[in-house]
């Protein structure tokens, strides 16, 4: 059996840090307890995970970002999708709900506030990255 994730089940997430906060989006329709999350979406054919993370951030939150570094991949415990996380930096734009069909709200969140938005915890490599870059 092939252990690679099916392409249609592959998602790229952008971990966008700017001015001491991380960008989160709230989906119009939650998946179980998953409501707030990083900007994310399906990786399109011929697209790298980093390119998808950059594109999804622009489409969902209206922010231009550049991919900085991959943070890791996992099968998401709630959605069962293969998720690749990419650290990104803001290159321009102001965060807003750019995709009103998918996104209900956007927020810039400090490190201590993250558990209020994502109570079940973050993927460990993402948490370690945010612990470093958001620590004041």
How do residues 47-60 score in pLDDT, each as one tens digit?
999 999 999 999 99
Give dist(CA 41, CA 20) in Å, integer.
24
| pLDDT for position 94 | 96
Task: Check whether 3 has a pLDDT greater than 50.
Answer: no
What is 7-129's CATH number, 3.40.640.10, 3.40.50.1000, 3.90.79.10, 2.60.40.10? Answer: 3.90.79.10
DSSP letter assigned to residue 39: S
Domain map (residue ranges) of the chain: 7-129
Give me the pLDDT at residue 1, please: 36
pLDDT for 32 equals: 64
Residue 8, pLDDT score: 63
128 CB-near residues (< 8 Å, 6+ apart): none
Tell me the β-bridge partners of 38. Answer: none
Tens digits of per-residue pLDDT, 86-125?
Answer: 999 999 999 999 999 999 999 999 999 999 999 889 999 9
Which one, of 68, 74, 80, 72, lies nearest residue 32 by Cα?
80
The rounded distance, in Å, linking the Cα atoms of 71 and 123 is 10
Report residue 50 as tokens: 């980093």
Residue 4's pLDDT band (cuts 50, 70, 90): very low
pTM of the full predicted structure? 0.91
The span from the first CA to the last CA of the chain, in angstroms, equals 46
């Amino acid at each position: 059996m092939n252990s690679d994730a099916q392409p249609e089940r592959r998602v790229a997430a952008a971990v966008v840090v700017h001015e001491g906060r991380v960008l989160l989006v709230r989906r119009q329709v939650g998946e179980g307890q998953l409501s707030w999350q990083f900007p994310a979406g399906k990786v399109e054919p011929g697209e790298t995970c980093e390119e998808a993370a950059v594109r999804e951030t622009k489409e969902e939150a209206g922010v231009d970002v550049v991919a900085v570094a991959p943070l890791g991949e996992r099968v998401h415990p709630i959605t069962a999708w293969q998720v690749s996380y990419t650290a990104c930096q803001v290159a321009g734009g102001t965060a807003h709900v750019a995709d009103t069909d998918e996104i209900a709200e956007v927020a810039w969140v400090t490190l201590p506030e993250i558990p209020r938005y994502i109570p079940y915890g973050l993927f460990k490599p993402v948490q370690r990255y945010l612990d470093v870059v958001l620590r004041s």
